[in-house]
Structure 1
Amino acid sequence: MRRLLCLLLFVLALPAAATGLLESRPSSTLGSINNSADFLPVREAFQLSLVESTSQSIKLRFVATEGYYLYRHRFQFRAEPGDVTLGAAQLPDGQKKHDEYFGDVEVYHGILDVELPRSDQRAFTLVVTYQGCADKGLCYPPETERLSINAGNSVSVPYSWSWRELALFFLAGLGLTFTPCVLPMLPILSGVVLRGQVGGWRGFNLSLAYVLPMAACFALLGALMGMFGAQLNLQARLQSAWVLVPFATFFAVFALAMFGVFELKLPHAISSRLDRIAGRTEGGSLWGAAVLGVVSSLLVSPCVSAPLAGALLYISASGDALGGGLKLFMLGLGMGAPLLLVATGGAAWLPKSGPWLIYVKNAIGVLLLGLAIGLLSRVLPGQVTLLLIGLLAAGVGLFLGALEFVYKPPRKRLGQLFGMFLLFYALACWFGAFSGQSDPFNPIGQSRTIASNAPTQETSAWQTVDTPAELDRVLAQARSANTALLLDWYADWCISCKVIEREVLNDSIVIERLKGYRLVRFDITQSNAEQRALLDRYQLFGPPALMFFGKDGVERVDVRVIGEINARDFAERVARANDRI
């Protein structure tokens, strides 16, 4: 039960830090395990919808899934037929991103609203072209979608929500109920609302009158965030250090409160006034139960502000007022469901309060500190982030008794063993940080830096093709010559392709292991229909990708690389391919 509750809270709070956990530059450590399942199809990664069409303007909305971003300079908008005139697209400023290959560019995370001025009242087809990338190191070719625009009359497109999302918010609210912040609502319900008379239809009706207004308060907050959150574009703004640092501080403060360093509650002036309202409210009536439900939601919300902030941030990315209200309404219902059980069947329905609640609080505190570090990782050097991760791991290890060499029962000995593992991991993180490493999954790994005197791959060793017919011809020649072939998918607009070309394919070990291969590079820069059909043929979303073909001309799919990869992991991949060709 404790693990389940912690997991639910973590799932709820995770969206608040998701953008902080992703680097703006693709991570080279992920490519070694990448495959097609790691990436979404382009139209799932970037969702385009028509928000509103009037006689004066057309409003479009792009929603980039977490971990994906769109390029500002790659947008194109045109009308069919061509004699329909459109004004210049009104694009907001994006997040500035400097790339060593492409210079200064602007990108968009999260929600992007685009407005197109319109003077022609005829119906037409709007052709929208856009391009984006995944943070993991995959660049999608330019994508084109066509939207039918009606004549000058106004059209507004509603948003949608899924039952699955509502169910997840209900479960998250259910998990929040079993925290020391929400459990004090039980005596309010049983002592004031029910006047100690638990059970039956009377208890159910009064408790429902108590829970529904409480959930309605959360719903109002969710609706406001869904309505105005898209304009604020909080997920995109979280890319700024001016927002990341305060949010990280926010999570750290709540973590300290979870550890019992101080008690977090509303200011005395506000809480005392709410207490007086609750005290004057008549118990045993539906109206009194409703008022107490509203007051209780105000008293409880500061305790759950960290998970609530994550939920609000998630809702803000939808731009859906109705969906946002429904999601937080379900969160409130989840928090109130156990209260309904208590009022209807008595306290026997709920687990007894005890020391396990302290473990829940501590676990939530650790998660919140992890989220704070994840946010700061976007603005801090990798070595500093690795130091902080090691510090957190060491703290948890010591809390679990890693250095307490006294007799303990079996359960605590198991916790101590895990604590010792965390302590050793913390030492590895600190050693790696002072050695110039930044990868928490490989804290003491070797640096990717290539020695200046290392041999480089000759440009002439690579044969570049850009049509399916040329590629088929080259593959046939390699099969006839009984030669293994390495196919590199490349594009000029693909940042990760440049990284792989410079830092991976020029590595001395990689060059040595690729001896005997025919090296072919397919240039998909133009991204025409013929090239995109070839992507579909090989079940690829875009570059970079590296494919190994044996001497028999058959691809060794199990060693295919999609996305960015570092030199060491790719050298291991080549070694595995050599065993299969």
Structure 2
Amino acid sequence: MPHSLLRLLSPLWRLLALLGLLGLSTAALAVNQADLLPPEKAFAVSVERQPDHLLLQLKVADNYYVYRDRLSFSTEPAGLLGSPALPPGQTKQDAFFGQQVIYHGQQLIKLPLHPGAPASFKLNVKLQGCSTAGVCYPPYTHHLDINAYGSASNGSSSWLADATPGKPAGSGGNLAAKGWLATLGSFLLAGIGMAFTACMYPLLPIVSSLIAGEGQHITRQRGFWLSLTYVQGLALTYTVIGIIAGLTGSLLTVWLQQPAVILSASVLMVVFALSMFDLYTIQLPSALQSRLANASNRLSGGKLATVFAMGALSALIIGPCVAPPLALALGYIGSTGDAVLGGAALYAMALGLGLPLILIGTFGGHVLPRAGGWMKAVKSAFGVLMLALAIWMATPFLPAMLVLLLWAVLCVGCAVFLKAFETLPGNAHISHKLGKGLGLLLFLVGAAQLAGALAGETDPRYPLKWLAGNKAQASISQQPVFAPVSSTAELDSKLAEARASGKPLLLDFYADWCVSCKEMESETFPDAAVSPLMQRFVLLRADVTANLPQHQALLKRFGLFGPPGIILFDPAGQEKGRVIGFTPAAEFARQLQNMLQ
């Protein structure tokens, strides 16, 4: 392959091109109500009584979260509890409600008992949470019957206790109940997916060095065994972690969610990234390297023992990077309490993570070009993406202005190194021209991030939103006007009036604590394509902020767990469609247009 073509097809351009998309966001779509879990499953609790305290376990389903500040505890009779010891949780920066602390996965909460607490009493656990799909649940209360010792039974739960529950989401099912094959296959696929992220970048030079160290006469069989041994070291390390997770339940997951751990992981990722720019070299001390080399020479397996050890150490290298998905995996494993299943699942995930390494180790020495200048470009690209990953990991715990500034520095720095501001000779190669073009694009993205930071924006996806200030003011007049409805009787009356007038009707479920409701109000309803269509409907709004009994009855009538939810009725008063969760303007306009045809 010609050297010029290698430079043109170098992964540098393809990988750095991804950075140009960092300022873009993918549109969220409405969700299916049947895919939402009922609140008692989405935010499950169990409690165990100890001599002087209650140990409560909050189990938040995948793709759901609970607000820490809306979690409260009471007893019947009253006054039996001391101050609860709440975990720190994860910080969530919300555009409408500011900084919030939320809980994912499993959390352990210690509730001190006052001396003289009776042998039996009732514990009320009040909480509120949301689905990441954009649906927020009204406040919900678990009523737990506490006995003298042992686990408490769940007496009842208030909210829509007799409502018809929706079908559980697939994520809420017990994967292990579907069989070991399904469980291990799912974790294997998850590992393969993680292999195509920046988490694998630090491992590629290590595997390359293993193959290169064997010289030019290495066979594919030898390359396969070396890379397989390396991946076994990686996989068995995670197997141990999976066994620990199965034995300790949620404790390890809670530890991985601590801000100090995630921020430390981000700093470590920056350290690794800077080493990719050859600012320094990360390696074992020379004395230790010599000992490992001498030991490996005395082993009958040649380099296999050392390669296995390198694989085990590599699990520590990529550990911070894979912490977010690993935390989800450990949360599930911890919920099963099965150490054998936990070890096998993490082993399968690590095998998936290492599968590309085995392919590179087996075939890379024969199909990849030999070492040259292109490797330095690839290392630099890996370093850039690792810096981007570090910013992404740390974003929930950093001030919004600092996040935008970090993205600006990264993009502008890439533009400088791509020689965006240097004059190219007339006979410059096409790869140089493409590099300069990409550099100029990244400079514009970085400049937009910097402008957004200075203008006080908080979302790096929309750094120039402040430019639409005048347009936003003008759009206030386009905000639809809803008539309030607070009971099923009022709704029936409004439906009768709409039938008499021959107009379709739109019923919007709203609450002040619903983030997606605010997003619909600010982004979807005022849109030029949506507002004229909404004016052709009779517009009703059921504000369920207070979650009164009549509000619960309205939600129950339509089988809703919480807002946002929009019910569409035809001129005959028959329900013809519904929109659950935040919906972008284009999709919402399409659904309204279908109703009006």
What's the TM-score, normalizing by structure 1?
0.66
| 1:180 counterpart residue number | 205
| Matching of residue 563 in structure 1 with residue 582 in structure 2 | yes
Superposed CA RMSD:
5.9
> Cα deviations across residues 321-366 of structure 1 (Å, max 9, x unaligned)?
65654455346545766787799x8876764554554454333322
Write the distance in 2 (CA, Å) between the matches of 1:354 and 1:474. 75
Write the distance in 2 (CA, Å) between the matches of 1:333 and 1:574. 45
- Residues 179 and 361 of structure 1 are in contact (CA less than 8 Å); yes or no, is this contact kept in structure 2? no
**Inter-CA distance 44–253: structure 2 relative to 1 (3 Å threshold):** farther
| Matching of residue 131 in structure 1 with residue 128 in structure 2 | yes
Write the distance in 2 (CA, Å) between the matches of 1:209 and 1:63. 38
Alignment match of 2:321 (pick from 299, 307, 314): 307
Write the distance in 1 (CA, Å) between the matches of 2:550 and 2:392. 42
| Matching of residue 141 in structure 1 with residue 138 in structure 2 | yes
What's the TM-score, normalizing by structure 2?
0.65
| Matching of residue 237 in structure 1 with residue 258 in structure 2 | yes
Alignment match of 1:42 (pick from 22, 31, 37): 37
Aligned residues between the structures: 533
| 2:413 counterpart residue number | 395
In the TM superposition, what are the counterparts of 1:424-503 in structure 2 within 5 Å?
A: 424-445=444-465, 446-447=468-469, 462-483=482-503, 485-491=505-511, 493-494=513-514, 497=517
CA-CA distance at 1:254 after TM superposition: 1.9
**Inter-CA distance 34–528: structure 2 relative to 1 (3 Å threshold):** farther
Give 5+ residue unaligned stretches, structure 2: 1-8, 153-173, 177-182
| Matching of residue 275 in structure 1 with residue 290 in structure 2 | yes
**Inter-CA distance 36–526: structure 2 relative to 1 (3 Å threshold):** same
**Inter-CA distance 554–348: structure 2 relative to 1 (3 Å threshold):** same
| 1:378 counterpart residue number | 396
| Matching of residue 297 in structure 1 with residue 311 in structure 2 | yes
| 1:263 counterpart residue number | 281
CA-CA distance at 1:385 after TM superposition: 2.8
Write the distance in 1 (CA, Å) between the matches of 2:566 and 2:29. 11
In the TM superposition, what are the counterparts of 1:102-181 in structure 2 within 5 Å?
A: 107-114=102-109, 130-134=127-131, 138-142=135-139, 160=176, 162-169=184-191, 172=194, 179-181=204-206
- Residues 55 and 154 of structure 1 are in contact (CA less than 8 Å); yes or no, is this contact kept in structure 2? no
| 2:57 counterpart residue number | 60
CA-CA distance at 1:62 after TM superposition: 1.1
**Inter-CA distance 499–256: structure 2 relative to 1 (3 Å threshold):** same
- Residues 533 and 592 of structure 2 are in contact (CA less than 8 Å); yes or no, is this contact kept in structure 1? no
Write the distance in 1 (CA, Å) between the matches of 2:490 and 2:277. 64
| 2:169 counterpart residue number | none
**Inter-CA distance 282–328: structure 2 relative to 1 (3 Å threshold):** farther
- Residues 455 and 507 of structure 1 are in contact (CA less than 8 Å); yes or no, is this contact kept in structure 2? no
1:109 partner letter: H
> Cα deviations across residues 139-158 of structure 1 (Å, max 9, x unaligned)?
11345779999997889xx9
What secondary structure sits across from 1:374 in the alignment?
helix
1:112 partner letter: Q
Write the distance in 1 (CA, Å) between the matches of 2:461 and 2:363. 48
CA-CA distance at 1:276 after TM superposition: 0.8
| Matching of residue 220 in structure 1 with residue 243 in structure 2 | no
**Inter-CA distance 441–173: structure 2 relative to 1 (3 Å threshold):** closer
**Inter-CA distance 322–259: structure 2 relative to 1 (3 Å threshold):** farther
**Inter-CA distance 273–328: structure 2 relative to 1 (3 Å threshold):** farther
Of 137-146 and 501-510, more deviation after overlay is shown by: 501-510
What secondary structure sits across from 2:507 in the alignment?
strand
1:169 partner letter: G
What secondary structure sits across from 2:272 in the alignment?
helix
**Inter-CA distance 532–132: structure 2 relative to 1 (3 Å threshold):** same
| 2:164 counterpart residue number | none
1:523 partner letter: D
| 1:92 counterpart residue number | 86
Write the distance in 2 (CA, Å) between the matches of 1:309 and 1:279. 34
**Inter-CA distance 417–447: structure 2 relative to 1 (3 Å threshold):** same
1:562 partner letter: G
**Inter-CA distance 347–549: structure 2 relative to 1 (3 Å threshold):** closer
CA-CA distance at 1:132 after TM superposition: 0.3
Give 5+ residue unaligned stretches, structure 1: 11-20, 22-28
What secondary structure sits across from 1:220 in the alignment?
helix
CA-CA distance at 1:257 after TM superposition: 1.6
- Residues 256 and 323 of structure 2 are in contact (CA less than 8 Å); yes or no, is this contact kept in structure 1? no
**Inter-CA distance 55–479: structure 2 relative to 1 (3 Å threshold):** same
What secondary structure sits across from 2:321 in the alignment?
helix
**Inter-CA distance 115–539: structure 2 relative to 1 (3 Å threshold):** same
- Residues 210 and 289 of structure 1 are in contact (CA less than 8 Å); yes or no, is this contact kept in structure 2? no
Write the distance in 2 (CA, Å) between the matches of 1:39 and 1:365. 43
- Residues 386 and 429 of structure 1 are in contact (CA less than 8 Å); yes or no, is this contact kept in structure 2? yes
Write the distance in 2 (CA, Å) between the matches of 1:342 and 1:483. 64
Alignment match of 1:366 (pick from 384, 388, 391): 384
- Residues 97 and 105 of structure 1 are in contact (CA less than 8 Å); yes or no, is this contact kept in structure 2? yes
**Inter-CA distance 302–88: structure 2 relative to 1 (3 Å threshold):** closer
**Inter-CA distance 205–427: structure 2 relative to 1 (3 Å threshold):** closer
**Inter-CA distance 280–148: structure 2 relative to 1 (3 Å threshold):** same
